[in-house]
Amino acid sequence: MDSIKQAFDLLFSLDKELFRILGVTLRMSFFSTSISCFLGLPLGALIGTRQFRGKSFLKKLIHTWMGLPPVVAGLLVYMLFTHYGPFGRLNLLFTVTAMVIAQCVLITPLVTGLTASFVETASRPIIETARGLGLSDARIVLLCLSEGRASLLSVVLNAFGRSIAEVGAVSIVGGNIQWKTRVMTTAIMLETNKGKFSFALALGIVLLILAFIVNAAASWMVKERSDG
């Protein structure tokens, strides 16, 4: 109960650092989820609607990448953008941009794999009807995404949940720099290492409240659109 009270005290304290952390967290999660869904949803739908040689191997590869440890993804991105890496001149290491890139490496395969599985099973009648009408592959992909948008919301929310809860990759490429790249998860890790368990738990509750608000808002928007 003390941690819950402390969480609400944090929210209503108008603490500048807390709101900065919340802002960086939302910005990172929004862009990484948006980019991953922009890439993964159509790619997954294309894989799910088509039959081609090597499809089984490609799906296994995607499923393997879905289980990639976050610290490995962070290490790969770190090696690319470190001073001695191929993209070191861009000076993106220890920035929110690098954190978004690392998140996309993790989340895009997740969105692709879940979308492909959904389209293969739930959208099979739509695919068969569309092919009978002679629609192109691009039109079929768009049709599957449009007809299954309510169900695909769970894929998007899954991607957002993975993004907002991730700590390994973002701590490696972001550096957990105060006022710059510190997000809720890295702040919780820092407070835990400092022995401030009650404060860390309060931050965790704030993170859960934030995730609940975003999920509720997304569900409400989809429901309003479906009713309209």
- Among 3.40.630.10, 1.10.3720.10, 3.40.640.10, 3.60.21.10, what is the CATH number of 19-182? 1.10.3720.10
Q: What is the pLDDT of residue 179?
A: 86
Residue 167 φ/ψ, nearest 5 degrees: -130, -35
Identify the DSSP state of 83.
Answer: T
Query: Does 163 have pLDDT greater than 80?
Result: yes
Question: CA-CA distance, 51 to 213, in Å (whole number)?
Answer: 39
Name residue 216's amino acid: A
Q: What is the pLDDT of residue 2?
A: 63
Exposure pattern of 166-175 as b/e (b: 16+ CB <10 Å)?
bbbbbbbbbb
Name residue 78's amino acid: Y
Are 50 and 130 a contacting pair, CB within 8 Å? no
Query: Does 228 have pLDDT greater than 60?
Result: no
Query: Does 11 have pLDDT greater than 60?
Result: yes
Question: CA-CA distance, 173 to 181, in Å (whole number)?
Answer: 9
Which 3 state secondary structure label does DSSP give 13? Answer: coil
Query: Does 13 have pLDDT greater than 70?
Result: no
Mean pLDDT in residue range 143-152 = 76
Residue with tokens 């993209």: 87
Predicted TM-score (pTM) of this structure: 0.86
Query: Does 9 have pLDDT greater than 90?
Result: no
Higher pLDDT, 223 or 43: 43
